[in-house]
Amino acid sequence: MSTTTEQAWKPLSRDGMAARAARDIPEGWYVNLGIGVPTLIGNHIPAEREVILHSENGVLGMGPAPEKHKENPWLINASSQRISLRVGASLVHHADSFAIVRGGHLDLCVLGGFQVAENGDLANWSHSPKEVARQIGGAMDLAVGAKRVWVVMEHVTKDGQPRLLRRCTYPLTAGACVTRVYTNMAVLDVTPAGFKVAEIIPGMSFSELQARTEAELLR
């Protein structure tokens, strides 16, 4: 006879994480959303809240995904998905787009991550210096340039390994850049003393969260 352990909690879905992060983005911010779950955040910002979304390929003022018959083949985002423009949007070339990024003009960028360290180091582009695949894109510029860097990622890897670490083991994207992490189990602030838990999903205890985290968590 098999026994099933009743788990009192359910991790957030990809959309759940995106929705949770979207709640904390106030009107008036200029925001870049990275590839993957961060891109989904755009769908959870209500249209009446004026948040201006930047895309690294030179778009400032991205709107929601267009309806099929209204698609413009000349408008795409950093994930190569077709987009719409909000009224008031503007288009720039790549050097200006990265002046926006690197020049400290973005209030926030939200990136995906492989690992985040307790001092805010981020690794999100490569698993090893020996790897052929090197997928830097705009991540290093965003990580050093935006006023705030949030990371949205699953709390542990597919095989259960922690992603919130004392030190990253993968090649860094940037050092000490992350200010906040949204996972499918918790919201954590990066503080000078380490990860401070701001929120845990319903039904999960602090010790259950700690058990899935390599770095020591602060209450």
Partner 1 sequence: MIDKFVRSMAEAMDGIRDGSVVMIPGFAEVGAPNALIDGLIEQGATDLTVIINATGKPRVAGAKVTGFARLVELGRVRKVVTSFVRAGSVCGDAVKAGTVVAEVIPQGTLAERIRAAGAGIPAFYTPTGADTLVAEGKEIREYRGRRCVLEEAIHADVALVEAWMADRWGNLVFRGAGRNFNPLVAMAAELTIVQTHHVCDLGQMPAEQVMTPGIFVDRVLHLPVGDPKLPI
Given a contact cutoff of 8 angstroms between Cβ atoms, the answer to whether 34 and 178 are in contact is no
Task: State how far the Cα of 191 lies from the Cα of 196, in Å rounded to an integer.
Answer: 7
Give CA 111 to chain center in angstroms.
3
Given a contact cutoff of 8 angstroms between Cβ atoms, the answer to whether 84 and 64 are in contact is yes
Q: Report the interface residues with partner 1, using CB under 8 A.
A: 55-59, 72-76, 80-82, 91-95, 97-98, 101-102, 121, 126, 129, 131-141, 144-145, 171-175
Nearer to partner 1, 63 or 137 (CB): 137
Among the options 56, 118, 208, 216, which is catalytic? 56
Smallest gap, in angstroms, from Cβ of residue 65 to partner 1? 13
Residue 56: active-site member: yes
Nearer to partner 1, 47 or 133 (CB): 133
Given a contact cutoff of 8 angstroms between Cβ atoms, the answer to whether 151 and 110 are in contact is yes
181 DSSP β-pair partners: 151, 188
Closest CA to 165 of 200, 115, 127, 113: 115
Nearer to partner 1, 120 or 194 (CB): 120
Residues acting as catalytic residues: 56
